Amino acid sequence: MVRVPLTPEERQRGERFGALLRQARGDRSMVDVAAAAGVSAETLRKIETGRAPTPAFFTVAALAYALGLSLDDLVAACAEGVEDTDRGVQAVSA
């Protein structure tokens, strides 16, 4: 199966998501947060650096829980500036 290349917008959204996770992690080590979420430190490193811009939903949910973030807040922060083509409205960060 061939993976469709990511669009520039998808890559930017992945970078925003990674930056948000790094900020939320604060002084906690990557290893501690990854262990709390049940993912490898390498997976978290790839997500935080934007090398894995489209992580699986359950990975996102586990990281959100480990960091005390709501999924709604993550969506709002990561969708900033991205047009919602289904409804034709501009997504706004909260």
**Domain ranges for the chain:** 8-90
Percent of the chain with pLDDT over 70: 84
CATH fold of 8-90: 434 Repressor (Amino-terminal Domain) (1.10.260)
How many Å from the N-terminal Cα to the C-terminal Cα in the chain?
38
pTM: 0.78
Q: What is the C-alpha to C-alpha distance for residues 31 and 80, in angstroms, rounded to an integer?
A: 28
Q: By the 8 A CB rule, do 87 and 30 touch?
A: no
Strand positions, DSSP E, 1-94: 83-84, 89-90
Q: Which residue has the higher pLDDT, 13 or 33?
A: 33
Encode burial over 39-51: b for 16+ CB neighbours within 10 A, e otherwise: beeebbebbbebe
Give the model confidence (pLDDT) of 61-74 as tens digits: 999 999 999 999 88
